[in-house]
Amino acid sequence: MLVLGIETSCDETAAAVVRSDGLVLSDVVHSQVSLHAPYGGVVPELASRDHLRNAAPVVQAALDRAGVGLDAVGGVAVTCRPGLSGALLVGVQLARGIAWSRGLPLVGVDHLLGHLAAPFLRWDDAPPLADPLPFVALLVSGGHTALYRVDALEAAQVHELGATRDDAAGEAFDKVAKLLGLGYPGGPIVDRLAREGDPAVVPLTRPMRARDSLELSFSGLKTQVARWIEADGLPGDDRRLRDLCAAFQGRVIDALLAKLLEAVRREGVRTVLIAGGVAANRELRARAAAACERRGLRLIVPAPRACTDNGAMIAYAGSLRLVAGEDDGAAVAVNPRTCLERRTRKGGGRR
């Protein structure tokens, strides 16, 4: 089955045509980075308006690049949660219209489940991913940071083990980059500068060190950077800036890997998956690979282009339901919250 996937949960308008075995025929992403950069973050109303302008052309481009028309598509999958309500509504309404006009089945997809499905995507003649289930997943992005045990790629079989109490890791990257005047989005910029820095120069402490908890926190680390800037001023030379970026990034990755490896130990599984936008981070990928190799674990990380928001992951996640004969039809509705299990309570205080 060929599936058309549509993604508009935040600040990227994306569409893709994917075969139900994970082969990507096309994957088109229109980025809104330049639109939101002057504000240092995503402005929901601007995001929705830009989706309205670009969603239909992006879908048409995905069909054109795949070399197919809607008559070849067997079903439509669309992100319906979590995300910005106005942005989600644009994609859902477009998907409804396409499905209704062509008599196609339509399924709504949880954006987080899409990220967990991203490693199953393949391009060209790459072989299908050997069955990794069950696995422990670290889903780490600008809006979400959580650890899950995944027994199947369906919501009822994804169980939260721990999550951030406050900022997501990618959000912390963006906020620190803003403090340093580096621009938006901050993650790729901090990662690039950190390559040439010495993380030992700036004494930042690793957050949430308690081994008995799989919860995470990044707001305190962000505050440490802010206080360092207050005391020493903005880094006036490239070396100090690079050292600060290296220290901050190193501590974020210290926390992520410590909790991930502890979760793997507790669950007794041998496969680890890292997904989401921050999974494209060079240092995270390298250190995770080394840590898993030392422990004899199998590490799965999507191709960098599949880490950030895209329509291909939504198409593949939706294909699992479409092939099974499911059809949400007009019942697809937007929701700003994920349908995946949530156990971690936001905010400080004892648990």
**Distance separating alpha carbons of residues 216 and 84, to the nearest angstrom:** 23
Asked whether the beta carbons of 248 and 198 are under 8 A apart, the reply is: no
pLDDT at 200 over 70: yes
State mean pLDDT over 281-301: 96
Q: How many angstroms separate the CA atoms of 95 and 88, rounded?
A: 11
> In this prediction, what percent of the chain has a pLDDT beyond 90?
81
Are the beta carbons of 202 and 245 closer than 8 angstroms? no
CB 178 within 8 A of CB 164: no
Give the span between the Cα atoms of 34 and 219, in whole angstroms. 26
Whether pLDDT at 349 is above 70: no
Query: pLDDT (tens digit, 9 = 90+) per residue, 155-166?
Result: 999 999 999 999
What does the pLDDT read at residue 211? 65
Which two tokens mark 76?
A: 């439509």
Identity of the residue numbered 28: V
Q: Is residue 152 packed enough to be buried (19+ CB in 10 Å), middle (13-18) or exposed (0-12)? A: exposed
Q: Mean pLDDT across the stretch 14-36?
A: 96
The pLDDT assigned to 168 comes to 93
Q: Is 237's pLDDT higher than 80? A: no
pLDDT band at 339 (very low <50, low <70, confident <90, very high): very high
Delineate the domains of the chain, giving CATH numbers in brackets.
2-123+305-331 (3.30.420.40), 135-302 (3.30.420.40)
Enclosing H/E stretch for 138? strand 135-140
Q: Indicate whether 64 pLDDT > 70.
A: yes
Q: Binning pLDDT at 50, 70 and 90, where does residue 185 land?
A: confident
CA distance 172 to 177: 8
Q: Which of 224, 226, 219, 216 is nearest to 254 (CA)?
A: 216
Task: State the average pLDDT for the chain.
Answer: 93
Rounded-to-integer distance, Cα 114 and Cα 101, Å:
25
Contacts of residue 248, defined as CB under 8 A and 6 or more positions apart, other chains included, come to: 176, 190, 194, 202, 204, 221, 225
Backbone angles phi, psi at 7, to 5 degrees: -130, 120
- Please tell me whether residue 106 adopts helix, strand or coil conformation: strand
Question: Using N-to-C axis directions, what is the helix angle for 219-232 and 169-179, rounded to 10°?
Answer: 10
Q: What is the largest CA-CA distance in the chain?
A: 63
What is the pLDDT at residue 348? 66
Cβ atoms within 10 A of the Cβ of 275, count?
A: 25
Radius of gyration of the chain (CA): 20
